Amino acid sequence: MANFILNGEPVSIDAEPEMPILWVVREKLGMVGTKFGCGIAQCGACTMHLDGQPVRSCSTPVSMAEGREVTTIEGIGGVDGMMSAIQAAWISEQVPQCGYCQSGQIMSATALLRDNPTPTDDDIDAAMKGNICRCGTYTRIRRAIKVASGQLEPRSEDEA
């Protein structure tokens, strides 16, 4: 049995200890907001937080999470379904294209801003370079992080 706290709720589930937590959460718990991209911790699509720190869940055995707090994209909004400031910025800057990598991008950005409320460009590079976006939305992700951290004004719909 694997036992951990998933988005604030205790979970006990029958899973081999070596099974990556990505697959435990997606297939055994049916929570599919976290994505599979590469399986070797190279793309960041599967990023979750383990005790608040970003981890690549495709390469993190569930045994590592034993007794610890696991947070996924489903768990980072505010209370009562409110969006986090980061999610709101992702909308104002119209960041996603296909959207597949964005759960991971938002998890990495959330961890960055928690530790560093006003990141520089170099800080953003360092925190975000583990996340690939094949659609190429990087410049918008950068802008959204600056909007979420109060360094830039959000884009209004009339500005193109």
Q: Which residues make up the interface to another protein (CB under 8 A)?
A: 16, 19-20, 23, 27-28, 30-40, 42-43, 45, 72-74, 77, 83, 87, 90-91, 94-103, 106, 124-126, 128-142, 155, 157-160
Give residue 45's identity as a one-letter amino acid code.
A
Give 5-9's long-range contacts (Cβ < 8 A, gap of 24+): 5/68, 5/69, 5/70, 6/31, 6/70, 6/72, 6/75, 7/70, 7/71, 7/72, 7/74, 7/75, 8/69, 8/75
Distance between CA atoms of 2 and 44, rounded to whole angstroms? Answer: 23
Q: How far is the CB of 158 from another protein (least distance, A)?
A: 7
* Cβ-based nearer residue to another protein, 4 or 37: 37
Q: At 123, list the tokens.
A: 């800080």
Q: How far is the CB of 135 from another protein (least distance, A)?
A: 5
Q: How far is the CB of 150 from another protein (least distance, A)?
A: 19
* Cβ-based nearer residue to another protein, 69 or 74: 74
Neighbours of 94 (CB within 10 A): 13
* Cβ-based nearer residue to another protein, 5 or 77: 77
* Cβ-based nearer residue to another protein, 5 or 100: 100
